[in-house]
Homo-oligomer: A and B are copies of this chain.
């Protein structure tokens, strides 16, 4: 509604804190509407009802501002999507993590594009807060895996990093068309379900292959026969 109005009826004087928040909120709005490729500090200033120079007082550079937007967004996401309760079934835990990730992508495609295309590709990515946040979230996935391993439900010899890459890779690839604007939307439920199932059925502790079963049956049969032989012997002895 009032989003495009250049002069917000913002109070003239705000604390540094509040002003920072305002600028960040406006900046997110701009990225959302225009895409990060068309992000202009000037527009943020105008929409925030402040001067362009002011933006640079609060943020060293355009880049820093944008990174802060991503950071704040990610932080919100992390606090809204806490690690799943450990008492839930493994499958549900994993589903929940994947679901919330897809949910966040669907809500903020523009910001997602910014993080995936611009920040992640940056040579300096590892020093960015977003990188840490991304690791934090990824950890919640790895934790679920680890828990499954402890419980014996998941193979212990898995390359955790690879599991993680596969999950997030699947999530990303499943959403590119949407991020490109081709699909109006995608089903978060179905996609999350699909990924969860495939990953789980893939990494779940392998069930005994029949050969083992046969061997065991033969063994048990042999034991039983032995017992019978003993009991027969006992009956004879009587």
Which chain A residues have a beta carbon within 8 Å of chain B's beta carbons? 113, 117, 120-123, 125-126, 158-159, 162-166, 168-174, 176, 179-182, 194-195, 198-199, 201-203, 206-214, 216-218, 220-221, 223-225, 227-238
- Residues from chain B with a CB closer than 8 A to the CB of A174 are 162, 165
Given contacts A162-B198, A231-B232, A236-B235, contact A218 B221 (CB under 8 A): no
Neighbour of A122 across the interface among B122, B180, B211, CB < 8 A: B180
Given contacts A168-B169, A170-B169, contact A179 B126 (CB under 8 A): no
Q: Which among A173, A194, A198, A235 has the highest number of chain B CB atoms within 10 Å?
A: A173
Number of copies: 4
- Residues from chain B with a CB closer than 8 A to the CB of A220 are 217-218, 221
- Residues from chain B with a CB closer than 8 A to the CB of A126 are 180, 182
State A202–B197 Cα separation when bound (angstroms): 10
Given contacts A216-B217, A217-B217, contact A198 B125 (CB under 8 A): no
